[in-house]
Amino acid sequence: MRISVRSLRQLRHVYQRQSCVMINNLVAEKPCYFEKCCQIHNSAYRVLDQAESNIFKNHPFINTSTRSISADAVKITNGVTKKSGPLVEYERRIANGELVDGDSCQVETLTELQRLYDELVEHADECQLDRNSEKPVRHGWLWSRLLSHPSHSPVKGLYLYGGVGTGKTMLMDLFYDQLPSNWKKKRIHFHDFMLNVHSLLQKHKGLSDPLDVVAGEISDEAVLLCLDEFMVTDVADALILNRLFRHLFSKGIILVSTSNRAPDNLYEGGLQRDLFLPFIATLKERCIAHEIGSSTDYRKMTSGGQGFYLVGSDSSGFLKKKFQQLIGEGTPTPQEVEVVMGRKLHVPLGANGCAYFPFEELCDKPLGAADYFGLFSKLYVSMNFLMQNANEGFNFGTLN
């Protein structure tokens, strides 16, 4: 026993503060493109001297245990250092010319995403991320009592916020795409997520706590939940978010989200906002908030600005001409489309998966984000724009 303890003490300094150890006479790789900005490459490994190498290679403790000593997805295979994670992928894309370099704000954000990635890899078993792993069978009153206690994840989530066009969605998708395919993960737009929540609530209507059941179904499908464009505008959403996410977090859900607003500014000016404030506290408790302070609007660097912005009395005729081009030989007729939970929306003119709306038909009606999302998931919409009041402007903002 004393020999084992002494041997482990000899190895301790090898493990401490090292993400990866390189042995033999391997040559250190080239410095990282981002140098000190890169959390992975800044101190990811060092080359052992001969004495340390001998201890490391010949020790029976090493020979009988796993050789994967990196918890942050840095591996060595046949003398080649293989790394994974969002920051590594970002560096690769810049090196290949797929992304523009020089945005320190994005690099800082990716450092946070890489930190989260590393923590998830380290705690994958504890978080039950592997969808193929079997859950323990729970029987009897004891398990029932234990299940009533919250089981928060040891890993906090990440709430990314910043101005439009700063790359929030791209960065979250880059993070999501690097996660193992066998993990219980889900990436979804926030409005689509809430649409699913309301649909499930309708399904479980009449239960004593339907939100708990809904949270259970969501957590069974995904442990890591990535929500894009977190934006609360609907009072019905605002009133259930705190209870919903308290249930989700107590079931081990880890949230990664993007938003144009800081947590404290969510649902600002909304009806009964005082009932929404506890959710902000819950969000800040279970997620690290990180601002992307970039001043670059990457949307303007693509072809997105080459659309039409119609001004003038003849704009309606031009828009109808474009609509006719979209439907081809189809004949536009009035239609009805089911948008959410059985609700139907009248379409003034529609054909071949396209619809034409006067502005007031979409923005001067009691419609919410779920209605718009349901409509646009089924039809391509052309709209004749003529805004006349503030309420129409608010709905137009939700529509966008």
- Residues 59-95: tens digit of each pLDDT: 443 343 333 323 334 443 344 444 789 999 998 988 8
On whether residue 174 sits in a domain, the answer given is: yes
Total number of domains in the chain = 3
Share of the chain above pLDDT 70, in %: 64
Instruction: Name the H helices within the chain.
Output: 2-15, 39-42, 50-58, 60-63, 86-95, 104-122, 140-147, 168-177, 190-203, 210-221, 235-250, 277-286, 315-327, 359-363, 369-376, 390-399
Regarding whether 175 and 128 lie in a shared domain, the answer is yes
Q: Which residues, other chains included, contact 128 with Cβ-Cβ below 8 Å and sequence gap of 6+?
A: 135, 184, 223, 252
pLDDT tens figures, 337-367: 887 667 788 888 888 888 888 888 888 777 7
Q: What is the CATH number of the domain that holds 124?
A: 3.40.50.300
Domain termination site, one of 240, 268, 292: 292
Domain termination site, one of 248, 263, 292: 292
Q: Which residues, other chains included, contact 144 with Cβ-Cβ below 8 Å and sequence gap of 6+?
A: none
Q: Is the dihedral of CA 120, 123, 124, 129 positive or negative?
A: negative
pLDDT tens figures, 256-265: 999 999 999 9
**Strands 287-292 vs 254-259: parallel, antiparallel or unpaired:** unpaired
DSSP 8-class letter at 187: E
pLDDT tens figures, 96-127: 988 877 688 888 999 999 999 999 999 999 99
pLDDT tens figures, 288-322: 999 998 777 776 665 444 555 666 666 777 788 88
Regarding whether 193 and 322 lie in a shared domain, the answer is no
Mean pLDDT of all residues in 132-139 = 58
DSSP 8-class letter at 205: T
pLDDT at position 36 over 80: no
pTM (predicted TM-score): 0.64
Alpha carbons 112 and 156: distance in angstroms, whole number? 12
Q: Residue 68: which domain range? A: 2-83
Give the chain's end-to-end CA distance (angstroms, integer): 67
On whether residue 324 sits in a domain, the answer given is: yes
Please state, in angstroms and as integers, the Cα–Cα distance from residue 382 to each residue in 59, 69, 193, 299, 303, following that order: 71, 56, 25, 21, 19
pLDDT at position 5 over 90: no
Share of the chain above pLDDT 90, in %: 38
Regarding whether 69 and 22 lie in a shared domain, the answer is yes
Alpha carbons 239 and 219: distance in angstroms, whole number? 21
Q: What's the whole-number average pLDDT of the chain?
A: 74
Regarding whether 393 and 262 lie in a shared domain, the answer is no
Regarding whether 332 and 206 lie in a shared domain, the answer is no
pLDDT of residue 368: 74
Regarding whether 213 and 115 lie in a shared domain, the answer is yes
- 3-class state of residue 71 by DSSP: coil
Regarding whether 341 and 286 lie in a shared domain, the answer is no
